[in-house]
Amino acid sequence: MSGPIISIDRSEILEGKLEEVEQAIARMAAFVEAEEPDTIAYEVFLDPSRTWMTVMQIHPDSASMGRHLEIARPVFAPFAGLIRLAEIHVYGDPSPRLLEQLEAKAAALGDATTTVHRLERGFARLGSL
């Protein structure tokens, strides 16, 4: 079992699609909160110009994030045509299966690069959040 997985995605919001993106964000966040009790954090940020979206997720392990990518697929499918996923950064030790799922997400939503940042040293007190 892997340790905690943190994922940070950065996407360009396509011109004229901000209102639709805001609606899709609200649906996605509500879905994750209601249907994914093992997700530790799921937060979406827009930059000051509201042309870039950043999604930050914290999962207890690769299996949790993998489940998210499977069960939330119908909810994030509408983002196709609204955004261009530019980059995915994963912090932790993702499973090979999770990496495959992230590559599929990258291909479906843009031309994102996926970069894994493996833990060198440190600790997390996620249970105390």
DSSP calls for 92-116: S---HHHHHHHHHHHHHHEEEEEEE
> Where in the chain are the domains?
5-121
Query: Are the C-beta atoms of 39 and 115 separated by less than 8 Å?
Result: no
How confident is the prediction along the chain (129 residues), in pLDDT tens digits per residue?
A: 468 999 999 999 999 999 999 999 999 999 999 999 999 999 999 999 999 999 999 999 999 999 999 999 888 888 999 999 999 999 999 999 999 999 999 999 988 999 999 999 988 776 655
Distance CA 105, CA 90 (A): 13
Parallel/antiparallel/unpaired status of strands 83-91 and 5-13: antiparallel
Distance CA 82, CA 90 (A): 23
What pTM value is reported for the model?
0.91
The pLDDT assigned to 2 comes to 66
The pLDDT assigned to 123 comes to 83
Q: Coil, strand, or helix at residue 120?
A: coil
The pLDDT assigned to 77 comes to 86
CB neighbours of 28 closer than 8 A, spacing ≥ 6? 44, 72, 75, 76, 79
Four-residue CA torsion sign, 48, 106, 65, 94: negative
* Fold annotation for 5-121: Alpha-Beta Plaits (3.30.70)
Parallel/antiparallel/unpaired status of strands 52-59 and 41-46: antiparallel
Instruction: Name the nearest CA neighbour of 56 among 90, 101, 92, 106.
Output: 90
Distance CA 114, CA 110 (A): 12
The pLDDT assigned to 58 comes to 96
